[in-house]
Amino acid sequence: MIPGVEQAAAHASNRRLRSRIAHLRIQTISHYARRGGGESNRQWAIIDEQLMDLRGRPALYRRAFYRLIIQLDAVTFGDTLYVDMDVDNIKVPSEEEVLAQMDLMAGERLAAAEVNGGSGEE
């Protein structure tokens, strides 16, 4: 493999891994903070259902979802202790949030294509 391509592939793989770990962290905290009676052992089933749903979605939807996940993860975690977190804001993105992010990403792509002199179409 060409060194630059190998480095880019490693970076993309690393980004995907970070986004998946962030997703698990958000789902875990969300479940822990909101679990109802009889749901204490359901966390992994909920995560599996979310992942199955994501696999059935278009690539743009998945990219938008994970961009929101990474943004939430960056804002929420770090030096903050759990007791200091606003757990009401720790949740996976809603359908509306993902669709809005998709629109934003499409606008960014169109603007980038215009700056580069292209039509934005593929």
Domain total in the chain = 1
Question: Mean per-residue pLDDT for 82-100?
Answer: 90
Question: Tokens 């809603």 belong to which residue?
Answer: 94
Q: Does the pLDDT at position 7 exceed 80?
A: no
- pLDDT for res 46: 86
Least confident among 17-21, 35-39, 56-60: 35-39
Neighbour tally for 49: CB within 10 Å: 11
Is residue 121 domain-resident?
A: no
32-56 pLDDT tens trace: 887 766 666 788 888 899 999 999 9
pTM of this structure: 0.76
CA distance 108 to 122: 15
CA distance 10 to 4: 10
What range does the domain containing 111 cover?
A: 3-115
Is residue 120 domain-resident?
A: no
Q: Does the pLDDT at position 29 exceed 90?
A: no
Task: State the pLDDT confidence band at 8, using cuts at 50, 70 and 90.
Answer: low
CA distance 97 to 68: 8
